[in-house]
Structure formats: structure tokens, C-alpha cells
Structure 1
Amino acid sequence: MDDFLAARLQMAFSLGFHIVFACIGMVMPFFMTVAHFIWLKTKNPVYRDVTKAWSKGVAIFFATGAVSGTVLSFELGLLWPKFMEHAGPIFGMPFSLEGTAFFIEAIALGFYLYGWGRLKPWFHWATGVVVGISGLLSGILVVAANSWMNSPAGFEFADGQYFNIDPVKAMFNDAWFSQALHMSIAAFASTGFAVAGVHALMILRNKNVQFHHKAFKIAAIFATIAACLQPLSGDISAKDVANRQPAKLAAMEAHFHTEKSAPLIIGGIPDEKNETVKYAIEIPGMLSFMAHGDFKSEVKGLDSIPKADRPPVAVTHYAFQIMVGLGMIMLGIAALYFFALWKKRNWLAQNWMHKVFVFATPAGFIALEAGWTVTEVGRQPWIIHGVMRTADAVTPMPGIAWSFYLFTAVYISLSCIVSLLLYRQITMVGRLYDSSTQS
């Protein structure tokens, strides 16, 4: 394995690990504070127990996300020093603001975890709200930095030098809103379905049904609302990509030839050598409409992009198809759940409904990983779109392959430890619930 590939794989593995725990850390505090709010209003002890159980999960994910995020920060400097040398002064503002949001989140989480019985009830609840808001802001600010890589702004570049730097314009670049919106909703959808699926499984196992039913309902509402909003944010994001990064859109859709009334390709196996797609379903004119709002508009294909500047088509296309396919499945589950709430409330207590959510437990996170694959692989060969190539940013230090093996082993070990902690936390819920009902 050459050092360039090892550096890319290490960054990909680190990001793929971190994004799951970061998203859970962003979203779970909102679940926690909703349960806390209901307890304060109703004094139902079950909601207090749900709040306490979820708060311990928030602490675990906060610690894991903080550690893995710190590693990512170091990796940017160690693996991609040329990138940080030039880009750091331009897009450093969102990273510094993210650090501030992180500190606020850490302080508020400390107040929340140790505030039971020590702080006034509504002030205690407010500290949980601060945890959620600051965590969400942290994610949005990190996405602002990534969106700058896709849509560089806030500087002028000539003769290898960057000047007239404007950090505010860099942070609020053209891709910022669409990426932040899409990512935030994806975090709620993926975490919501995962949490709802875990509690649905406990209901099916007939363990502390009342406790898990309350928790399931909160998570399911968040998940299904987010699943309904996600296609709208995806449409905004896709239109933005069509205007700014036509090569990425072409790779996403395996669209090799520039044409008007371009068809939407569903599935298929891209053949990059012959620039064809086998076994695909085509919907005439739909890609033109989805990209530009007109069934007859022209959509640029990969044939309009120099071969040296084309992203890997197969990986980008398959990842995009996975993301969209799972998004449609989650949307279908959301429609089913809302129909049950509206017309068939007896369905909500049926085992098959809970089995549907158990089946969907990993769907959001698989879609999330696929979406980030589209974002990152679809930008290649650029680390800063149109400005700096990824190959030019990698460190000249040898032996990166060994670093990749070491970090992979560390992340796998950390995943096992976190999974064990979460399993113990879930199994302890029964004792927590039993003790609360007896008090």
C-alpha cells in the first residue's frame, strides 16, 4: 500500500468512525430534553428514568466523539500539511468557533449530569437544552469547513499565493447552507431510527415495555419527521451540486454524456472504460428536471470534464444509490407511522410495527456513511475544489501505511468498548426502572 492511499484510507476510516458518534452526540441531547420536559410537566417517573438513561448515553457519545474528533484535527495537520498550510488561515474561523461551542457543550453537560437534585428543575432542564444547541452548532460549523473545500471562497489565488482573505465569506460559502441543512436533518433521521429501533427491540422482548414504549415514541417522532424533510434538503443539495460541481453530479448519476432531457438513472453498473451504464432503469428527462427544474435543460456529463479531473464514478454512484434508496425506505416508514397515528392507532402497539423499526435501525447510519462517501469521493481529485489536488496536499513523510494499521486497530477497539458500554447501559435500564417504580 502506497503512502498516498494509506493517508486517504486513514482519513476516511477516522471520519467514518467519528461521524456516527458525532451525529448521535448532536441529536441525543434533544431526545433527552424532550423526555425531561415531559417529566417536568407530567411528573410521570417513567419519563424521568428515560431522561436519566439517555443522559448517560449522551455522556458516552460525547466522550467518544470528542476523542475521535481530536484525532481528526491532528490528522489534518499530520497527513495533509500542505492543505493546512494554505487553507488553515482561510477556513480556520469555523474550527475556532466549533471549539467554543464544544467548550460550552462540555460545561453544560457537566451541569446537567451532576445537577439532579442540586439545581432548580427548570434551570437544570435548560442546561440540557444548551447541550443540544451547542452540539448542533458544533456540527454545523464543522460542515462549514467541509463545504469550503467543495466551494472555496473568501480569498483570491494567484501564482501559488492566497491573498485578500475574508474568513466570513469563506465560512458562509455557497455550499454551506445546503450541506449544513442536509447533514443536520440526516443526523436526526439516522439517530432517531437507531434509537427507536433499539427500544422497539426491547419492546418485542417484553422487557420494561412501558419504559421502552415512552422512549420509542419520542425517538420515532424525531426520526419520521426528519425522514420526511430529508428529501427536500436533498433536492436543495443536489441542485447546488449541479451548479457548482457538475463533475460530482455526473459521477453520482453515472451520467457520461452531456445532453438535454437527461434521464435519471436508477441502479445500474457503470462501465467507465466504455462510458456506459448496464442494467439501469432510466426515467427520461427526470435528471434535467431535478437538477435545473426543466425537463429539457442540458446536464453536463463526464465527457465535458478532463479525464484527469473526473472523480471515481463507480464508488460515487453506488454510494449515492445506497443513500437515496435507504432514504426512500425511511420515508416510506415515516409515511406508514404517520398514517398509523392518524387513522390506525391500534397499529402502533402491533409487533410488526416495532419489527419495521428494528429492521430500520442501521438504515440511517448506512445512508449517512454513503452520503459522506459521495461528498468526499465525488470531490476527487481535489482536496480544495478546483484549487489544490489531494495528491499535492499529502505529507511526504514515509511509513503512513503503518499509521493506518495502528489507527484502524485503535478505532476497532474503541468501537468494541463503546458497544460494550452501551449494551451494559441498555441492560441496566431494567434495574433503573424497577428502582424508580418502587420509590
Structure 2
Amino acid sequence: MFMDDFIAARAQMALSLGFHIIFACVGMVMPFLMAFAHWKYLKTGNEIYKGLTKAWSKGVAILFATGAVSGTMLSFELGLLWPGFMKHAGPIFGMPFSLEGTAFFIEAIAIGFFLYGWDKFNKWFHWFCGFLVGLSGLASGILVVAANAWMNSPTGFDYINGEYVNIDPIKAMFNDAWFPQALHMTVAAFCATGFAVAGVHAFLMMRKKNVEFHTKAFRIAAAFAMIGAFGAPLSGDVAAKSIAERQPIKLAAMEAHFETEKGAAFVIGGIPDEDKGEINYALKIPKLLSFLATNDFNAEVKGLNDFPKDEWPPVAVVHYAFQIMIFFGVVMISIGSLYLYALFFKKEWLNKNWLLKTFFFATPFGYIALEAGWTVTEVGRQPWIIYGIMRTIDAVTPMPGIQYSFYFFTAIFISLSLIIIFLLRRQIKMVPYLYDPTDKLFNSKNKKS
């Protein structure tokens, strides 16, 4: 298969970001699940929570190592694939990357303390080390998002005669887009990771092995998933209003909204036709887009036709990605509502196979929505790598043969995926051995297994 260097460079970055974002989100959330289970153990003395903490901590370590590898690869790719971008942007938005490196090292040290600190440190200092893993992972994710947000809302410099002058790295880091993006990304991470972990333990509950252990794990993960599921519409609303103000062309592409109009309808589904400037087979909710963008049902929303066509992002890709994100978000909110109803009014449902199957099938939903949302963010900015300042094609490396680099990195990511699956499966099989041998769940069958 042949592809030109520009497409190969974009494909490589898309693959790398799509792979790394999963581990970044796990690193932002999974340590908090671990720390909560550890806190429950310290408060109750229940050995199941200790076993759960150890199980999750080993998973955190595996996924942290993988995220470190993929994140390091991304750092090299920025310089190798996009030297034109890094030449000018590096001095401006380098601060969040530098701080992210500091957060990463703190996270690595805290993980080491936590994994090897059992019965060696003060119990609350040991717990704090685990909690610190979560705080530094969360900070790391937010700092990277701040750097990406700068690409969508470049500030902290003056662009005069093709030169970047009067650089203010603090203003660049705290650009207009960083808070909406960081908030939505954090909430999405809680939702995706919570549903993924809950789904795994729901499956293991259905197998009727170590049921009490997996039930406690499922309840904790489901609680975190609910935080994300119900917080996503609120953070999404903040993000949408920010996009409407800063990047109206991206909002128009998200909705395949071609004509500027007041009282614009919110589009659900549909197939965009860029040549004719219309969307077919869509369900339209009158005036809702105007309200979501501005809090005014009759406000004007700009359409794609108000912008030069060479500045349009790939409308179909952005629109479909946005629809996928919305669809899976609504599905997870529905599952969350069902779970909360069962938790407060129908407790007998909590151990029913149909509810557990629902969570099991929802295991990947959060990450599908996350990847779709990231596609909206990145593809919706095109053709700009620095919005309104530098086009992506002007930033790519002149070095030939990028397609071979793409094939090589693809092979690395496939290999890493297989290794992760192997390690996590082995870790799940080791769960029974993480119990205290005096625990009642430790029957002879489990010992022999």
C-alpha cells in the first residue's frame, strides 16, 4: 500500500495518539480506584479490599509502563514528523510539556513506593503514595491537554511578519480552550475507565468465582463510571459553547451545518453531502443547536458556507465522529440511570445476569466515545496545526519515506497490544492468590486453581 508522506505522517500521529490516549486516561483514573479500595481496607480491615488494592495496583503498573512507552514515542514523533511546527511552537507551549515530565517522574516514584511499601511504611503514608499516583497522573493528563488546547486556541505570542514574538508561556498554557478541554477530557476518562473496569468485573461475577471480591470491585468502578457518565453532558456543554465562540467552523462541521441561520436545529444522524451543501436522512430538533451554542434558542449559528472551502475540515469524518460520541454517551447515561434505579429502588437487580451483561457489553463504550471525541477535536481543527496560524501541511517533515515509519510504528503498537492483553489476562487469573489465605472465600478449589 502506498501513501504520500503527508498522509503517512498524519496517520502515524493519529495511530499514536489513539493508542496513547487510552493509557493516559487509565493513568488519570485507575489509581483513584486503587486508592479508594485501599482506603476501604484501612477503614474496615476487610482483606478483600486489600486483595483488590493489590490487584488493581499491578494493573496500574502494567498500564503505566505501556503509557510511558507510547508517550515517549509521541514525544519523538512531534519532532521527527512536524519539525516546522516544533520550531515555532516549542518555545511557546513547551511549559506544559516540561511540567508534564515532572508529573510523570512523581508518578513513577509514587508507584514504586506504593508497590513495594506494603508493611514497610506508615499505613497512611503508604495510602498517600497511591493517591499521589492518581493526582500526578491526573495532572499529567491535564497538562498535555493544555498543550493541545493551545493548538486550538493559540495565544501567548504576537504573530508579526511571519515571526512569533512577545512570547508569554504562562498565557499560552492557560489559553481559552484549556479549561473546557481539560474538564471534558477528565470527565470522559472517569466514564471510560469506570465502565471498562466495571465491565470486566461484571463478566467475572457472571462466572460465579470469587463473587464477593468482584462484586466489591464492580460497585467501586460503577460509582466512578456514574461520575463520568452524568458529568459528561455538563462538561460537553461547556466545551461546545467554547468551540462555538472560538472555532465556529468546527461546530458547523460537527453538525454538518452548511447555511448560517437563526434558531438552528440540532442534527441527529444524517449523511453529509459536501458538494451540495446539505445533509440527508437526518433527524432535526428545531432551535436546539442555537441554544446549546449560545443559551439562546433564536441565536445565529454560522454555517460552513460562510467560510472558505479550503479551510473546511473533513466534514463527514467530523460529523460521524461527533454522532458516535453522542450515541455512546447517551447509551452510558441510560445504563447509569438504570444502575442508580436498581441501587436505590431495586437492589435485587444488582446481581441479575441481565444487568451484569449490560455492563459487560458496555466495557468498550467509554473508550469508543473517547476516541470519537478526540477525532472531533483533532480532525475538526484541520487544515490547521496551529489554528488560524500554521497549516498542517506546512509543518510536516521534508524527509521522504515516512510511510515506512508508519508501518514500523503500527507493528510496535500491535505488539504492545498483544503483550498487554497477555499480561492483564495473567493478572486476572492471579486474583485468587491476592486474598488473605484465612478469608472465607479461599476455599480449597481456589487454592488448587
TM tier, smaller: over 0.9
User: Which of residues 387, 397, 400 is equivalent to 1:398?
Assistant: 400
1:25 is matched with: 27
Q: Report the Cα distance in structure 2 between the residues aligned to 1:84 and 1:436, rounded to whole angstroms.
A: 58
2:358 is matched with: 356
Report 1:129-148 matches (<5 A). 129-148=131-150
SS, match of residue 72 in structure 1: helix
| TM superposition shift of 1:412 | 0.5
SS, match of residue 430 in structure 2: helix
Report 1:252-291 matches (<5 A). 252-291=254-293
Structure 2 stretches of 5 or more lacking a match? none
How many equivalent pairs are there? Answer: 439
Q: Report the Cα distance in structure 1 between the residues aligned to 2:123 and 2:357, rounded to whole angstroms.
A: 36
Q: Report the Cα distance in structure 2 between the residues aligned to 1:126 and 1:25, rounded to whole angstroms.
A: 16
| TM superposition shift of 1:340 | 1.3
1:297 is the counterpart of 2:306:
no
| TM superposition shift of 1:337 | 1.1
SS, match of residue 206 in structure 1: coil
Q: Is the contact made by 1:224 and 1:333 (CA closer than 8 Å) also made in structure 2? A: no
1:191 is matched with: 193
SS, match of residue 403 in structure 2: helix
1:246 is the counterpart of 2:239:
no
1:374 is the counterpart of 2:376:
yes
Q: Is the contact made by 2:264 and 2:288 (CA closer than 8 Å) also made in structure 1? A: yes
Q: Is the contact made by 2:54 and 2:434 (CA closer than 8 Å) also made in structure 1? A: no
| TM superposition shift of 1:345 | 1.4
Report 1:6-405 matches (<5 A). 6-405=8-407
Residue deviations 1:112-143, cap 9 Å, x none?
00001111111100111111101100000000
Q: Report the Cα distance in structure 1 between the residues aligned to 2:185 and 2:291, rounded to whole angstroms.
A: 24
SS, match of residue 57 in structure 2: helix
SS, match of residue 62 in structure 1: helix
| TM superposition shift of 1:431 | 3.0
Q: Report the Cα distance in structure 2 between the residues aligned to 1:348 and 1:155, rounded to whole angstroms.
A: 55
Q: Report the Cα distance in structure 2 between the residues aligned to 1:435 and 1:353, rounded to whole angstroms.
A: 31
1:422 is the counterpart of 2:429:
no
Deviates more, 1:173-182 or 1:348-357: 348-357
What is the letter of the counterpart of residue 13 of structure 1?
L
Q: Report the Cα distance in structure 1 between the residues aligned to 2:345 and 2:202, rounded to whole angstroms.
A: 21
SS, match of residue 267 in structure 2: strand
Residue deviations 1:219-254, cap 9 Å, x none?
000001210011000000001000100010000000
Deviates more, 1:231-240 or 1:18-27: 18-27
Q: Report the Cα distance in structure 2 between the residues aligned to 1:173 and 1:36, rounded to whole angstroms.
A: 37
Q: Report the Cα distance in structure 2 between the residues aligned to 1:430 and 1:335, rounded to whole angstroms.
A: 32
Q: Report the Cα distance in structure 1 between the residues aligned to 2:437 and 2:18, rounded to whole angstroms.
A: 38
| TM superposition shift of 1:267 | 0.1
Q: Report the Cα distance in structure 2 between the residues aligned to 1:231 and 1:58, rounded to whole angstroms.
A: 28
What is the letter of the counterpart of residue 324 of structure 1?
I
| TM superposition shift of 1:434 | 7.1
Q: Is the contact made by 1:49 and 1:436 (CA closer than 8 Å) also made in structure 2? A: no
What is the letter of the counterpart of residue 197 of structure 2?
V
Q: Report the Cα distance in structure 2 between the residues aligned to 1:314 and 1:205, rounded to whole angstroms.
A: 42
% same residue = 68
Deviates more, 1:126-135 or 1:345-354: 345-354
What is the letter of the counterpart of residue 191 of structure 1?
T
Runs of 4+ that moved beyond 4 A: none
Q: Is the contact made by 2:47 and 2:436 (CA closer than 8 Å) also made in structure 1? A: no
What is the letter of the counterpart of residue 120 of structure 1?
N
Deviates more, 1:427-436 or 1:273-282: 427-436
Deviates more, 1:194-203 or 1:281-290: 281-290
TM-score normalised by length of structure 1: 0.99
TM-score normalised by length of structure 2: 0.97
| TM superposition shift of 1:304 | 0.7
CA RMSD, Structure 1 to Structure 2 (Å): 1.0
Q: Report the Cα distance in structure 2 between the residues aligned to 1:144 and 1:286, rounded to whole angstroms.
A: 29
What is the letter of the counterpart of residue 33 of structure 1?
A
Q: Report the Cα distance in structure 2 between the residues aligned to 1:419 and 1:99, rounded to whole angstroms.
A: 27
Q: Report the Cα distance in structure 2 between the residues aligned to 1:20 and 1:29, rounded to whole angstroms.
A: 14
What is the letter of the counterpart of residue 255 of structure 1?
H
